[in-house]
Amino acid sequence: MKISKRIVNISESMTLALTAKARQMKKNGIDVVGFGAGEPDFDTPEYIKNVAIEDIQKGVTKYTDTSGTLELREAVCKKLKRDNDLDYTPRQIIISPGAKFSLYIAILALCDDGDEVIIPSPYWLTYPEQVKASGGASVFIETSVDSEFKITPNQLKKAISPRTVALILNSPSNPTGAVYTRKELEDIADVILATNVVVISDEIYESLVYDDAEFASFPSLRPELKDRTVLVNGVSKTYSMTGWRIGYAAGPSEIIDAMSRLQSHSTSNPTSFVQRACAVAMLGDQSFVEEMRQAFDKRRRYMVERLNSFPWVKCAVPKGAFYAFPDVSGCYGKKLGGRIIKGSMDMAEVLLDEFKTGVIPGLPFGDDRCIRLSYAMSMEEIEKGLDRIEKALESVRD
């Protein structure tokens, strides 16, 4: 049996694998604190759930239009106008089973074999795997804690080649929590507009920004950008609806049509009976979003302050999403839990095996110096887990 070259090199999602291991340990009765969560710990609000329940009962259980119901695409247009001052028509919108799938078909629609996609590093680990699956090649731009994990226009200029077809931007970022300012994005936009590169702007963490950070939607920055951007967003993080699997893309009709053709032959359409509920989520009462944001903000402050008080830790203040991405490389080469820590994989393993604390190694996100901790969990759990990490780091020896 032969597995295709494209797929053989695709790695399993490390976040899902480690979260599964921590979950299994918990099931076996071990008191594990897991910082791996990639989803809000809140329940989906009742008024949203009720719409889907009603639609199941009404028999909204058949195929819908490939690119989603007109009602939901119109709701996305209204949302983009209300929040981002963007004018799109329903033909420029595609609803997909999750933002992850929107990203995948956007990349597939843009990449021929050997085409290059620029990805700022650290990155959400799915991007390079999707680029691989599309036959393209990822070109990474390195950033670090010291540059607040943001690329500069000069770095971008240097990374662009005649084979570059796309740049993937993700602000607020998973895993770093970095949020670009409007000015920083405008400077990036100016570099992009001097080329033919398309920007895939992953705006899934739009509603989770903190302190003085302000979210700016990439295509809204310059009038010409709407024709050169595929904006990706969804309901997963904003309304705590990760399991519902609804995301969307807005962009030039040529690209959206191509994505829709791909979708018609892969998933046919997004799930029928959740679509009206997603429209209600986007256009209804938004107070849930602010309540959740405030809860995350409190946990974020607590987590970052404590992390920065630990030995060996250097943690930039994340301004968005729900992750901290501390640099723990200071203790690499030293001993922890009877092992020499050579990188983030060792660190994550020792923390889980010896200190019953699940974190995600930075390596699959492109930065082996760091580990990722989610704060989408209760304050009590955060406290307990951080106590364990503190104890672990205090026990590091030469």
- Which of 4-12, 95-103, 253-261, 336-344 is the region at the interface with ligand PLP (rule: CB under 6 A)? 95-103
Structure tokens at 33: 């604190």
Contact between 135 and 114 (Cβ < 8 Å):
yes
Which stretch, 18-26, 92-100, 258-266, 342-350, contacts ligand PLP (CB under 6 A)?
A: 92-100
Collect all residues with Cβ–Cβ distance below 8 Å to 264 and sequence separation of at least 6. 66
Single-letter residue type at 322: F
Question: Among residue numbers 242 through 301, which ones bind ligand PLP (CB under 6 A)?
Answer: 242, 247
Interface residue with ligand PLP, options 73, 100, 299, 300 (CB under 6 A): 100
Identified binder of ligand PLP from the candidate list 99, 168, 324, 389, rule CB under 6 A: 99
199 phi/psi in degrees, rounded to 5: -100, 130
Question: What is the full DSSP assignment across 112-167?
Answer: PTT-EEEEEES--THHHHHHHHTT-EEEEEE--GGGTT---HHHHHHH--TTEEEE
Residue 322 vs 355, nearer CB to ligand PLP: 322
Q: Which is nearer to ligand PLP, 92 or 170 (CB)?
A: 170
- If one asks whether residue 323 binds ligand PLP (CB under 6 A), the answer comes out as no
For residues 182 and 214, the answer to whether their CB atoms sit within 8 Å is: yes
Binder among 65, 129, 184, 202 for ligand PLP (CB under 6 A): 202
Query: Cβ of residue 202: shortest distance to ligand PLP, in angstroms?
Result: 5
- Helix orientation angle between 275-283 and 46-58, rounded to the nearest 10 degrees: 150
Point out which span in 2-10, 97-105, 281-289, 352-360 binds ligand PLP (CB under 6 A).
97-105
Partnered with residue 138 across adjacent β-strands are: 117
Number of residues that bind ligand PLP (CB under 6 A): 13
Map tokens 């053709």 to a residue: 261
Residue 191 sits at the vertex; the CA angle it makes with 187 and 196, to the nearest 5 degrees, is 145
The whole-angstrom separation of Cα 139 and Cα 123 is 12
Instruction: Tell me which stretch binds ligand PLP (CB under 6 A): 5-13, 93-101, 186-194, 383-391.
Output: 93-101
Q: Does 131 bind ligand PLP (CB under 6 A)?
A: no
| Using rule CB under 6 A, residue 72 touches ligand PLP | no
For residue 170, state whether it binds ligand PLP (rule: CB under 6 A). Answer: yes
Q: Which amino acid is at 359?
A: V
In the block, which residue shows the tokens 């951080």?
A: 386
Interface ranges with ligand PLP (CB under 6 A): 38, 98-100, 124, 170, 174, 202, 204, 234, 236, 242, 247
